[in-house]
Amino acid sequence: MPGSRLIHLLLSTAFTLGLAACTHSTAPDPKPGSIVPLTLGESHPGQYNLGPVDWKESQWHNSCAPYPASVQASEGELLAGLALGWNGNGQMCDACVYITTGKGKSILARVVTTGTTKSPNDIDLSPSAYAALDQGEYPRDMSWQIAKCAATGNVAYQFQTGANIWWTSLWVRNVRLPLVAVEVKSANHPAWFTLKRANDGTYTDAGGFGDGAFTMRLTSIDSQTVTDEFTSLQPGKLVESKGQFQ
């Protein structure tokens, strides 16, 4: 596996804030196939392959799933799966990657799953993402970088169906940048408490938030924060945030 600082940022249990390398552009927010205004860290060379990656999970379960229909609709059909070394701890669930092929095609794709690839930096793609890049070449050389996702509305909190005041667990959907921390203040936590991330991308408080109101704080890889207040826990619900990373 590559030894860059960015890998250590992404594979640690708690990310170290700060970026080794960023490139900025004055282009507008990215749309599928367009120029990305913000990429993070090094390019990672490898091969791109056709799936199996799709919302229907027609061949394999997406490790970051389940995704509500509304999230699927907002995030589109350009989907990707990364190797276990990159997303084995769920740290890249819902992040975006900017892929550029050796023949000059490029797309912005959302990471929704993890799997075993031939080489550490190879990437598996949904049919739509593959079709947008494929020009019949072989080998299918490409490189990818972590990138800011397109603006498709606010962050959303997807609480697990089994979540309760004694065991609270959720996914954070539609984030524009990878998360380094998900924290809560609640009846059980008068000070900010960091939830534990699992390999399916969930964030869990094994002791639960406790009864009543609580506040969530999300921190992105570039130290931006989004904070939301809730009057009570809503198991099984998708709750839209009031904010989004810029």
Q: What is the pLDDT of residues 117-161, one digit of tens each?
A: 999 999 999 999 999 999 999 999 999 999 999 989 999 999 999
What's the CA gap between 119 and 137, in Å, rounded?
Answer: 18
Decide if 169 is inside a domain: yes
Domain shared by 109 and 27, yes or no: yes
The amino acid present at 149, given as its one-letter code, is C
Domain shared by 160 and 108, yes or no: no
Torsion sign (Cα): 43, 97, 99, 119:
positive
Q: CA geometry: angle at 141 spanning 138 and 146, to 5°?
A: 150
Written as six digits, the tokens of 95 are 């992040």
Domain shared by 125 and 186, yes or no: no
Radius of gyration of the chain (CA): 18
**CATH number assigned to the domain comprising residue 126:** 2.40.40.10
Domain shared by 16 and 119, yes or no: yes
Residue pair 173/67 in contact by the 8 Å Cβ criterion: yes
Would you state the pLDDT for residue 173?
97
Q: Residue 204, Cα to own-chain centre: how many angstroms?
A: 16
Backbone angles phi, psi at 143, to 5 degrees: -135, 155
* pLDDT band at 230; cut points 50, 70, 90: very high
Neighbouring CB atoms inside 10 A of 128's CB total 16
* pLDDT band at 20; cut points 50, 70, 90: very low
**CATH number assigned to the domain comprising residue 208:** 2.60.40.760
Q: pLDDT tens digits for 96-123? A: 999 999 999 999 999 999 988 999 999 9
Q: What is the mean pLDDT of the chain?
A: 87
The total of structural domains in the chain comes to 2
Would you state the pLDDT for residue 174?
96
What's the CA gap between 32 and 17, in Å, rounded?
Answer: 28
DSSP per-residue string spanning 40-109: EEEEEEEEEEE-S--TT-SSS--TT----HHHHHHH-S-EEEEEHHHHTTSTTTT-EEEEEETTS-EEEE
Decide if 245 is inside a domain: no
- Domain with 23 in it: 5-147
Domain shared by 13 and 91, yes or no: yes
CA neighbor of 133 nearest in space, from 27, 32, 30, 25: 32
Examine the fold and report which residue of 147, 175, 206 is the final residue of a domain before the chain moves on: 147
